Amino acid sequence: MKKWISLALAIGAIFAGMMLSQWALAQNKKDALKSQRDEISAKIKETKAMIADSEKKQKLTANQIAILNEQIHYREKMIESIDGELGQLDQNIQSEQSQIQLLEFQLASLKSEYAKMVYQAYKNRSSYNSIVFILSAEDFYQAYKRFKIMQALSEGRKKQVEIIKETEITLSKSIEQLKGSRLEVASLKKEQELVKTEIDGDKQAQQEKLNKLKKEESKLRAQQKKQESDRKKLNSKIQDIINKELAEERKREEQERIKALASVEKAKVEKGNVTSPKSTNVPKVEAIAKTETKYTKIELAPEVVSMNSNFEGNKGNLPWPVSHGAITSHFGKHAHPSLEDIVLNNNGVDFTTQQGEAVLSVFSGKVTSVFSIPGAGYNIIVTHGTYKTVYSGLAQVNVKVGDKVSAKQNLGSVGLTDDEAVLHFELWSVNSTKGAAQNPESWMRKR
């Protein structure tokens, strides 16, 4: 019986250790989910502030609908996050209940064994009996072993008391943790219901704003037409800049090839492989160089290769170009937030923020262009190897062409376009023949 109890206690201790380890992992996951929920809560707070700020101006805009869309999206993510926390808490509760059962079994076993030890000690309580037991040994070695056994029994009883106390304390803590988990579940469910109510309120407010915007449809269409025109001008300017840079690079390579081929021809003449220096035809050399340049990729300089590697290595981890705001127009084709028959085709993303918000470089690079589009503010292009980032809609700029900038450096501030503070941001990849707009959201850090 004694051996069975000892084995059960050992197994119980092993399972208790495993449960504690699982609980620690579950707790870490729950903490991560809570941190995610706090981040989402901060975003909701930001969108609410932007909505309140725009409503103070008493001017309804399409971007208000887009901000509400973002707020609804964040609230839906909040519900998903809470679902994740509830699921994790359910696992924690099951683990805690299993741990409590094991501890209760362990405590009962410990107390049962301790009761038997006390009973045996009571039966042999006479010190005279103990001395007789030791002295009745056949030899000194046996007497010494009997003495150590008596000593071990005494120490065993003391340790058993300590283990019982520790187990009772652990059991008490586990019960408190279980109570805390159940209270947290109740609190999260209440919060989840509140978020669902807020989503319903946002959707109602959104519909009301849409109904009001329909009365100003002609004005909205005019604004949209102007924005399309401004974006076409921006795109045309970007393409011109890229084409110019590629032409300059090709010209440089062409000159280098002409020099290289002329050098080869000269070497042939000097070695006597060519009958006369007059046979060296420079125009012919130029024609060969041009032909080869037309079909050969531009060789990147080592520093450009290094910059590309660094930039590409940060894909998915680039910071936002503004510290505060919400994305109100995403990359690619998507429906207009309030005009049913309008499809937007965005080469980048639009951040609605506050007037005067600092515009930040998303990566280190070199300012290669600063220009303005009447009615659409200033534009800055920063080059990062064969990649370019475009910042459009600035009221003022703090940099000039040729400046080297670091990541998160202040490039300027966001201005107002149609009474809204919007930063338009693009990211381009340039190869040997052309440039292609990339989806900035796949490069930026998730928020």
pLDDT of 156: 60
pLDDT band at 269 (very low <50, low <70, confident <90, very high): confident
Mean pLDDT of 42-52: 75
pLDDT band at 295 (very low <50, low <70, confident <90, very high): very low
pLDDT of 57: 59
Mean pLDDT of 403-421: 90
pLDDT band at 431 (very low <50, low <70, confident <90, very high): confident
SS (H, E, C) 91-159: HHHHHHHHHHHHHHHHHHHHHHHHHHHHHHHHHCCCHHHHHHHHHCCCCHHHHHHHHHHHHHHHHHHHH
Which is more confidently placed, 169 or 55? 169
Question: Which of 363, 275, 258, 270 minimizes the C-alpha distance to 316?
Answer: 363
pLDDT band at 407 (very low <50, low <70, confident <90, very high): very high
Side chain identity, residue 114: Y
Q: What is the DSSP letter of 388?
A: E
pLDDT of 188: 81
Mean residue pLDDT across the chain: 76
Mean pLDDT of 363-386: 90
The overall pTM is greater than 0.85:
no
Greatest mean pLDDT among 28-37, 84-93, 206-215, 297-306 lies in 84-93
pLDDT band at 187 (very low <50, low <70, confident <90, very high): confident
With 80 as the cut, is the pLDDT of residue 265 above it? no
pLDDT of 321: 96
pLDDT band at 2 (very low <50, low <70, confident <90, very high): very low
Mean pLDDT of 350-359: 92
pLDDT of 293: 45
- Strand (E) or helix (H) holding 389: strand 387-397
